[in-house]
Structures are given as C-alpha cells and as structure tokens.
Amino acid sequence: METEKEDNLRFVIIGAGMAGILSAIKLEEAGLHNVTLYEKAERLGGTWRENTYPGIACDVPSHLYSYSFAPNPEWSHQYSPGVEIQRYFEDVASQFGIGDRIRFGEEIERCEFVDSRWKLRTRAGRRDEADFIIAATGVLHHPNNPEIEGLEDFDGALFHSARWDHDVPLDGKKIGVIGTGSTGVQITSALADRAQKFSLFQRTAQWVMPQENPAYSEAEKKEFREHPEQLRILHQAISKLFAASFANAIVDADSDLMKEIEAQCLLNLEQSVSDPGLRERLRPNYRAACKRLVISPDFYEAIQKPRVELVTDGIRSVEPGGVRTVDGGFHELDVLVMATGFRADRFMRPMEIIGRTGKRLDEVWADRPSAYLSISIPDLPNFFMLNGPNGPVGNFSLIEVAELQFKYILQLVDQVRAGECRSLSASDVATQVFDRERVEAAKKTIWSTGCRSWYLDDRGIPATWPWTFDRFREAMSEPDLAAYDFFFT
C-alpha cells in the first residue's frame, strides 16, 4: 500500500457537530490528513450550539454521552446541561487540533459525483472536490414550525426553541410554550419560578421517567482526573447497562423490561401529581416509550406550581396579545415559544446531491429517506452518513452510535486504500432486503403500539433501528462486502 496514494485521498466532512468532530479526529488517527469540514454556522457544536434554551440538558448520562477516546472528568452532573456539552465539544476539537480544518459559514448546497470524484459547491460559491464525503449533518436540525392561524400577528416575542432569543427578558413575564416533548418539559422546569404566568400548551400528554441527577463532588472529579482509567471503565459499564436495559426493552413491546419501565412511569405520575384532575390530563393514552420517553427529575413539581397552567384545549389561533383556544379561552402572553420539534426526515437536505447515474437524492428519497444500515445509499459511491436514516436514535447515546458507525466506514475506506476499487456504495438489493427486514422487525417495537411520534414515517412505520443494541454493535463490527457495489472508474 502506497503512503502517497493514501495521503492523497481527499475527504470532505459536512457538519462540525458531534459526528463531524469525531470523523475528523478518526481520519487523522488513520493517517488520512487531507480533510476539510464545512460548517454552515460560525461555530462548531451542532445541536448543542443551536439549542440554548433555558433548562437544556442531555437525557443520556454524561459519561456515556462522551467520546470513548476523550473522557471528561469535569462533568458537573450525571446528566449535564447543554452549555457544558457545547464546551466539551469545543475543548475536544481544540485538544485534537481540528479547528484549522473547519471552514465556518460555508453551507454546502450541491454535491455531484463526476469522473469518480465528488464535486462540491457552497452557498457562498466556493468549489471543492473530494474522493469521499462524510455527511455528519445530524438528525434534528431543521425546526418544525407549526401552521397556526395568526402566528404572524403576535405582538410579543415569538421564536422556536432551537432559535432562542436571549435578548428577550423572561423574569416576571407571561410565557407560553407550545409542545410537551423533552424540550417543552425542560423549559417548563427552568422557567416555572421565573415567569409571572407560565402556560404549557399540551396536545399530547407524555410519560415521564423519574430521574435523579446528582452533582459530582469535587472529590469525585479529582479522582477522575487522577485516574482516567476509571472514566473508561465507567463509560463501558454505563454502555453495557444501557444496552441491557432500556435500549433492548424498547425493541420488544412485550418484554418484562418494557413493562417494568411502564410501571416506573405510571408510579411517577400517580405519586407525584396530587390533584386528580391535573393527573388525568397528564395521563397519556398510549404506552410508555411509544413516543421518545421524557426523562425529568422535576417536571411534575413544576407543572403544579401556582403560576403554571397546563392548557389541554386545542389552539384555535394566535392573536396579538396571546393564544385563543378552541373552548374560547384566551391566554395572555408576552413570550410564545414553539417547542414543536424538528423535521426528522430532512438529514442532508436541502442540499442537492447527484449520484453516479445522475439521479438526485430527492428522487431516491421521494417517498421517504432510506439507507443501508443508515450509512450508505445506492449509487452514491464513497458517500457515507453518520446517524443517517433508520439508525438507533431512540434514547440511545448518539456518540456511541457514531463511533461504531465510523469504525465501519473506515473499513469501507480501506477497500479503496488497498486498491480493491475506486469507489463503492451499498447495492440496491442489499438496501431493499435490509429495509424489508427492518420494517417487519419494527412492528414488534414499542414505537408501533399506537401513538403518533416523530419516529414514524409516512406509512406509520418507525424509522429507527428495530433490533437490540448488541445487534447494532455486531452489524457495525465488519462490513458484509457482498452488500456493496464496487466501481473501478
């Protein structure tokens, strides 16, 4: 194998969030130095850069939501706040020296496979070429803005939770939040005591898993600093526990573990909410974890505070002074926040991506996004995704997912490095077989038990990994090269 040939392979990574940072570091470790990251924003961090709303935190334990190769002894809590996670990614990027590889403010708008290479163009007009593209664009980054009559007429401050306006004063204000997913729950807990009045508009009640979130003592952090091997052991232990419990329970709706999780959620509701009427309005009519499970130590406490109201009547319209509900009630507001989630089917879009046969990704994904093992798309050679369609996104650590995926991708890259081909992509047949098996398995998961959620595609099929996490690890351990088309020109 020729070192010069290896070094000449050109990689472009799209996105400088968690997965993009990981990709750059791992390519460098593999001796592949010709790497550029394109980031549409002016700062790295991905979802943790964009989501800065009050109360934001990760619902995966901090020592699992860390790179395995960069443990962090400084986490303040078992589940740490968003500002610490953003700082962690910035520190890791600095520690591994990838900052100078990032082109900020450069949004890729077009990628076309021509003459065995990818031709790229940014929105600013910059052109580039690459042998490989790593799409690390994330899953949840296109805000979903609901269509509500009169939104444009609101006189107060109005914004999506992922576009939080920190210039807007909150203390002593009348604040409304639309949405009761993890974001809406975290905002409620954070602002319940700050608002003059807080209105949470609930379309669907959520099951809430109780959570203890102890702070790490200075003595514990000192022990982590002086004995970093303990952090690696802790990371592995949490990972195994996660896989053996929640991660595996949700893919078998009839499992004893799933029933135990449901019992914990039910007990949390029954013991935490004293008012019978409020308790019933907070009681979901579907099974726990059918939607992404909300994890919170204090939501039920916050929603029962005197200044907080739970609004379960549907929204008729937004008026200049607040929200009108279908029962005729009017909720006066100074601030209105859309905690209404993201368009989970977008991935790399709105980029225009054109494969080797001239077919556009929008055509391939006309019905819905799909990919072989969430990584490769037929006829898009040397174009690989991290956390792509139908991957493990249901209350898993996406860092662990991305690390496993990147090890798999590097083995595909090695086929090119070894001269086995010039490029490769998953075959149509392998992708179709995988998708048929995935759809069938998805019917047995908790996500298919009768609720509406962002996990579901246009057919109502969960667009997620429907098997155990152990099976995902196994699938990522080594590519089945028979599932790939090899190209030589």
User: What is the per-residue pLDDT across 371-385, written as a single tens digit (0 to 9) for each?
Assistant: 999 999 999 999 999
Residue 300 lies in a domain: yes
Cα(250)–Cα(248) distance, integer angstroms: 6
Contact in structure between 39 and 138 (CB atoms under 8 Å): no
Domain end residue (candidates: 338, 371, 392): 338
Question: Which residues, other chains included, contact 105 with Cβ-Cβ below 8 Å and sequence gap of 6+?
Answer: 39, 40, 41, 42, 124
Q: Examine the domain organization and report whether 370 and 321 are in the same domain.
A: no
Q: Examine the domain organization and report whether 329 and 194 are in the same domain.
A: yes
Residue 462 lies in a domain: yes
Radius of gyration over every alpha carbon of the chain, rounded to an integer in angstroms: 23
Q: Examine the domain organization and report whether 96 and 172 are in the same domain.
A: no
Residue 90 lies in a domain: yes
Domain end residue (candidates: 307, 338, 369): 338
Quote the tokens at residue 105. 């403010």
Q: Examine the domain organization and report whether 448 and 399 are in the same domain.
A: yes
Domain interval for residue 192: 151-207+253-338
| DSSP secondary structure letters along 235-290 | HHHHHHHHIIIIIHHTT-TT-HHHHHHHHHHHHHHHHH---HHHHHHT--SS-TTS
Predicted pLDDT of residue 248:
83
CATH number reported for the structural domain that contains residue 196 in this entry: 3.50.50.60
Residue 242 lies in a domain: no
Residue type, 364: V
Contact in structure between 13 and 382 (CB atoms under 8 Å): no
Domains contained in the chain, number: 2
| Phi, psi dihedral angles at 400 (to 5 degrees) | -65, -40
DSSP state of 392: S
Q: Which helix (DSSP H) or strand (DSSP E) does residue 183 occupy? A: helix 182-191
Q: Examine the domain organization and report whether 269 and 178 are in the same domain.
A: yes
Q: Examine the domain organization and report whether 373 and 443 are in the same domain.
A: yes
**What is the b/e burial string over 202-217, where b = at least 16 CB atoms within 10 angstroms of the residue's CB?**
beebbbbbbbebeebe
Residue 55 lies in a domain: yes
Domain end residue (candidates: 338, 357, 382): 338
Q: 186: closest CA among 343, 48, 55?
A: 55
Q: Examine the domain organization and report whether 473 and 347 are in the same domain.
A: yes
Q: 331: closest CA among 309, 299, 301, 302?
A: 309
Q: Examine the domain organization and report whether 333 and 348 are in the same domain.
A: no
Residue 237 lies in a domain: no
Q: Examine the domain organization and report whether 124 and 169 are in the same domain.
A: no
Q: Examine the domain organization and report whether 91 and 177 are in the same domain.
A: no
pLDDT tens digits, the chain, 489 residues: what are they?
Answer: 343 355 689 999 999 999 999 999 999 999 999 999 999 999 999 999 999 999 999 989 999 999 999 999 999 999 999 999 999 999 999 999 999 999 999 999 999 999 999 999 999 999 999 999 999 998 777 788 899 999 999 999 999 999 999 999 999 999 999 999 999 999 999 999 999 999 999 999 999 999 899 999 999 999 999 999 999 999 999 998 888 888 888 899 999 999 999 999 999 999 999 999 999 999 999 999 999 899 999 999 999 999 999 999 999 999 999 999 999 999 999 999 999 998 767 778 889 999 999 999 999 999 899 999 999 999 999 999 999 999 988 767 899 999 999 999 999 999 999 999 999 999 999 999 999 999 999 999 999 999 988 888 889 998 999 999 999 999 999 999 999 999 998
Sign of CA dihedral 78, 52, 88, 59: positive
Residue 248 lies in a domain: no
Q: Examine the domain organization and report whether 398 and 478 are in the same domain.
A: yes
Q: Examine the domain organization and report whether 402 and 293 are in the same domain.
A: no
Q: 309: closest CA among 277, 286, 339?
A: 277
Residue 16 lies in a domain: yes
